[in-house]
Structure 1
Amino acid sequence: MKPITAITAALALLSGAAALDIQKSVIISYPPETPDSVMTQAKKAVIDAGGIITHEYKMIKGFAAKVGEKVLETVSAMGAKYQVLVEEDVEVHAVGGL
């Protein structure tokens, strides 16, 4: 196999694997008594995985992010002891209609 063919095949495989991790907008929140270090670790995991912190909340302990589904499993496991809540960030309406 020619080197260029091997490189092309490897790049195609890597790009296919990256495409499988679909980005989602989520809100990740914790109970008030959760140590700050837990949330800091979760934010680091999001950023290390290529995600983006889109908002940090002041009224609740939590943040919004756009991140791949795979890292959400990691964040959930890291915060399980503290009952982390990971929910999809969607638009809601108080009274019918869009």
Structure 2
Amino acid sequence: MPAYNVTLKSGASPDELEAAKKKVTDQGGKIINEFSLIKGFTAEFPADKVNALETNEHITVEADGEVKTQ
């Protein structure tokens, strides 16, 4: 399954993050990392169901990938 980073948008309540985590597990995904500096997590989630997360106006969903510095 592909991995996605899910982060809470500014002004959204912590309950929205909990709702997103529940949506991930209810749809067959697995949370693999929770962030401590920002409100969010990385989850392995079925690509055909990611739209269920992207429609939530309180979170941002991005494909996880390698980050490099120069």
Tell me the TM-score normalised to structure 1 length.
0.64
Amino acid at match of 2:5: I
1:64 aligns with 2:42: yes
Residue 50 of structure 1 corresponds to 28
3-state SS of paired residue (1:75): helix
Residue 15 of structure 2 corresponds to 37
1:74 aligns with 2:37: no
Structure with more contact order per residue of length (Cα contacts < 8 Å, sep ≥ 6):
2
Gaps of 5+ in 2: none
Equivalent residue pairs, number = 70
Identical columns (%): 27
Gaps of 5+ in 1: 1-22
From the superposition, tell whether residues 50 and 24 of structure 1 become closer, same or farther in structure 2 (CA, over 3 Å): same
How far is 1:57 from its partner? 1.0
Query: CA offsets, 1:12-63, max 9 Å, x none?
Result: xxxxxxxxxxx21110111242111211111111111111101111211111
Query: CA offsets, 1:42-91, max 9 Å, x none?
Result: 111111111110111121111100001233211121x21x3x21111111
The answer on whether the counterparts of 2:31 and 2:43 sit within 8 Å (CA) in structure 1 is yes
The 5-angstrom pairing of residues 80-95 of structure 1 reads 80=57, 82=58, 84-95=59-70
Residue 28 of structure 1 corresponds to 6
Amino acid at match of 2:15: S
Question: Quick check: which one's strand share is greater?
Answer: 2
Amino acid at match of 2:17: M
